[in-house]
Structure 1
Amino acid sequence: MKVRDGETVKAQVEQASSRILEMMKIEGKVTDTGAVTVRCADYDSGEEVYRARHPWSVYQVPVSDMEKAMDRLRNGLPKKGWEIVKDGVDESAAKSPQIVAESKGQEYAVDVRLLDERKYGDDPSLIEVTVQSACYRAN
C-alpha cells in the first residue's frame, strides 16, 4: 500500500470530480463540500489507513438532461482512463440508474446515481456523485 500525503490525495480526488462534472456537460446547481479524509473500513489492523472521499450532487436540472449526462459519462469515462465496472441500477426500491467506474490504475473510483423525484416522492431529482481514492497510509 502506498504512503501518500493526505492533502495531496484530497486535491487529486477533487480534480477527478471536476473532470467528471466536465464530462457530464450539465447545467445546474452543484453541491460541493470538498473532499474529506476517512478511515478505510477494509483495514481493521490498527494501522493508520485512509481514503479521500468527495460526495457531491447536481440538481435543479430536468431529468431528461440528467439522463443525457449519464449517457455522456458512459461514453466519456472509458475515453478518459476509467473502466466502467457497473452500469445498471442500484439496490434501492426505486432501482435508480447507477454507474460505477474505476480509474485504470485503480487509484480512484466513482459512483454516480440518478435519483428521479418521480420515484422518490418529495425529494428533488438529482445526480449523486461520490469520488474516492484507494486506501493509503498517511505519511
Structure 2
Amino acid sequence: MRTRDSDTVKAGVERASSRIAEILDVKGKVVKTGAMTSHCSDYGTDEEVYRARHPWSIHKAPFTDMQKGMDRLRVELPKDGWQIIRDGVDGSRAGSPQIVAESKGGEFAVDIRLHRASKVGNAPDLLEVTVESACYRSEQGLPRHP
C-alpha cells in the first residue's frame, strides 16, 4: 500500500470528478461537496489507512439528457484510461442504471447511478456520482479535515 499526501489524493479525486462531469456534459443543478477523507473500511478503523471520496449529483435536468450523459461515459471513460468494471443496474428495488469504473493503475474508482424520480417522497430524477481513491497510508498521519 502506498504512502501518500492526503491533500494530494483529495486534489486527484476532485480532478477525476471534474473530468467525469465534463464527459457527462449534463446541464442541471449540481450538488457538490469537496473531497472528504475517511478511514478505509477495507482495513477497519484501527488502521491508519484512508480513502478520499468526492460525492456529487445532478438534478433538475431532463432524464433523457442524463441518459445521454451515461452513454457518453460508456464511450469516453475507456478513451480516458478508465476500465468499466460494471455496466448494468444496481441492486436497488428500482434497478437504477449503474456504471462502475477504475482508472488506469487503479488509483481511482467511480460509481455513477441514474435514478428515476420517485413519487414516494418526491425525489427528483438524479444522476449520482461518487469518485474515490484507492486506500493509502497518510504521510502526515491523521488527515486534516476542512
Answer whether contact 2:110 2:131 (CA < 8 A) is retained.
Answer: yes
Q: Deviations over 1:46-81 (max 9, x none)?
A: 320000000000111010101000000000100000
Does 1:124 find its partner at 2:120?
no
1:96-111 map, 5 Å: 96-111=96-111
Give me the CA root mean square deviation: 0.9
Task: State how 1:76-91 maps to structure 2 within 5 Å.
Answer: 76-91=76-91
Is 1:93–2:100 an aligned residue pair? no
Q: Provide, for residues 20-67 of structure 1, a one-character-per-residue CA deviation record: whole Å limited to 9, x for no partner.
A: 000011111111111000100111383200000000001110101010
TM-score by length of 2: 0.91
Which of 11-20 and 23-32 deviates more?
A: 23-32
Give the 4+ runs in structure 1 shifted more than 3 A: none
- Cα displacement string for residues 100-126 of structure 1 (whole angstroms, at most 9, x for unaligned residues): 000010000000000110xx2210011
Gaps of 5+ in 2: 140-146
Identity %: 61
Counterpart for residue 70 of structure 2:
70
SS of residue in 1 equivalent to 2:68: helix
Q: Under a length normalisation based on structure 1, what TM-score does the superposition of the two structures give?
A: 0.96
Residue in structure 1 matched with residue 35 of structure 2 by the alignment:
35
Inter-partner Cα distance in structure 2 for 1:63 and 1:76: 20
Q: May I ask how many residue pairs the two structures share in their alignment?
A: 137
Q: d(CA) in 2 for partners of 1:104 and 1:136?
A: 17
**Runs of 5+ unmatched residues, structure 1:** none
> Structure 2 CA distance, aligned partners of 1:76 and 1:30?
21
The letter for the 1-side match of 2:129 is: V
Q: What residue in structure 1 maps to residue 143 of structure 2?
A: none
Aligned residue number for residue 54 of structure 1: 54
Whole-Å separation in 1 of the counterparts to 2:45 and 2:34: 28
